[in-house]
């Protein structure tokens, strides 16, 4: 793990937000067109995450023919996306908006098409806006061997990060969504 992903000595253990979803509760998509979790992306990962104990989440992603690199095998970048999306879902447990600053990935086993990747992620430490976290993706079941893993640094941001930087067409469409809950989920972690 790179030094940038080692929490400083002053970092604190993460605190589960009192209003975090209960363990086992599905977290749902934060944005319908998210490539990781959105239902509106036909070739996306359609990753489904659930709240875990403490500051953790679990998720599942089924590798399809849309996700290949080599014939019959998942593309490494797609697997990194699955790890990134799962780690991103930890924001629901802290109730903060955060984006990936650094993602360091280990690929340990090839992952064939048709595999269900069982993901687990947890926050390990928090220092100011910096959120340190780690994730695994197992195959053959939730207790199966680790095929992929990652360490990450997410950085807390304000909602302006998206409004100021996203392409105006998509930002305006998301803000104009008549579904208030969906609109809130797209722009805030706390709907």
| Binding piece for ligand PKZ, criterion CB under 6 A, among 44-52, 61-69, 108-116, 182-190 | 182-190
Residues 6 or more apart whose Cβ sits within 8 Å of residue 14: 54, 55, 93, 94, 122, 123, 124, 125, 126, 131
Nearest distance, CB of residue 41 and ligand PKZ, angstroms: 13
- Please identify, using beta-carbon distances, which residue of 39 and 145 lies nearer to ligand PKZ: 39
Look up tokens 């939730």; give the residue: 142
- Residues 119-178 within binding reach of ligand PKZ (CB under 6 A): 128-130, 153, 155, 157, 162, 166, 170-171, 174
Specify whether the CB–CB gap between 83 and 150 falls below 8 A.
yes
For 177, counting Cβ atoms within 10 Å of its Cβ (0-12 exposed, 13-18 middle, 19+ buried), the class is middle
Distance CA 95, CA 85 (A): 16
Nearest distance, CB of residue 71 and ligand PKZ, angstroms: 27
Specify whether the CB–CB gap between 55 and 16 falls below 8 A.
yes
Tokens of 89: 């879902």
Tokens of 109: 């086993």
Put the strands of the sheet holding 130-138 in their side by side order.
48-51, 56-62, 116-127, 130-138, 146-156, 98-107
Decide if residue 191 touches ligand PKZ (CB under 6 A): no
In the list 32, 99, 113, 125, the residue contacting ligand PKZ (rule: CB under 6 A) is 99
Nearest distance, CB of residue 72 and ligand PKZ, angstroms: 27
Decide if residue 4 touches ligand PKZ (CB under 6 A): yes
Tokens of 163: 């409004």
- Residues 24-43 within binding reach of ligand PKZ (CB under 6 A): 30-31, 36
- Please identify, using beta-carbon distances, which residue of 99 and 109 lies nearer to ligand PKZ: 99
The footprint of ligand PKZ on this chain (CB under 6 A) covers a number of residues equal to 27
- Residues 56-85 within binding reach of ligand PKZ (CB under 6 A): 84-85
- Contact set with ligand PKZ (CB under 6 A): 4, 30-31, 36, 84-85, 88, 91, 97, 99-102, 128-130, 153, 155, 157, 162, 166, 170-171, 174, 186-187, 189
């Amino acid at each position: 793990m790179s030094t940038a992903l080692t929490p400083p000595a002053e970092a604190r253990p993460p605190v589960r937000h009192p209003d975090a979803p209960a363990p086992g509760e599905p977290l749902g998509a934060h944005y319908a067109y998210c490539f990781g979790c959105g239902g509106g992306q036909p070739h996306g990962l359609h990753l489904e995450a659930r709240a875990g104990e403490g500051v953790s989440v679990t998720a599942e992603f089924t590798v399809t023919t849309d996700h290949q690199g080599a014939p019959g095998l998942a593309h490494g970048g797609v697997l990194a996306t699955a790890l990134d999306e799962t780690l991103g879902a930890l924001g629901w447990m802290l109730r903060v908006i955060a984006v990936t600053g650094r993602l360091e990935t280990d690929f340990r086993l090839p992952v064939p098409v048709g595999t269900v990747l069982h993901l687990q992620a947890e926050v390990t430490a928090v220092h100011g806006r910096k959120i340190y976290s780690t994730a695994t993706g197992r195959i053959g079941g939730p207790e199966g061997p680790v095929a992929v893993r990652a360490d990450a640094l997410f950085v807390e941001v304000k909602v302006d990060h998206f409004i100021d930087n996203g392409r105006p067409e998509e930002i305006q469409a998301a803000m104009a969504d008549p579904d208030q809950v969906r609109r809130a989920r797209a722009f805030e972690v706390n709907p």
